[in-house]
Amino acid sequence: MSALSALEQTLENRWDALWARLRDKEPVEVLDALRRECDDNAVVCREGRVMVPNAYDVELPEDVHEHLNRTGTDVGQALTDSVSRHAERRGYEFAGPPAVHVARCPDVPNGRYRVASRVMRHVSADGFFHATH
């Protein structure tokens, strides 16, 4: 592992720990689910070229969503950065600009979170919100 990769991993782990302190829920689960969603939807186009979805939707229970909004942290951007680093480490290419939208959902099936992905062209976090609602 190169020094830059090790530093990147350390910073990501520290972000995970900070987020865990800001919330009572375990953020590593959400990050892992987001990374799994990316991996599970990877498509090999040709040797050396693997495409992944670029638009991700994370639904959280209302209380968790409200708590995150009170912290002032741009959680959608932080998750976008995390999935981008994951894709880079795996050698994936996004089908367009990546974005993660975090929404409140009163009926999350497992009571914790739900993650979904799709391909959207020229997506931004704001554009993603308007396109899905």
pLDDT tens digits for range 15-65: 665 555 445 444 678 888 999 999 999 999 888 899 999 999 999 888 777
pTM: 0.70
Residue 100 dihedral angles phi and psi, to the nearest 5°: -120, 125
Closest CA to 32 of 115, 93, 91, 104: 115
3-state secondary structure of 124: coil
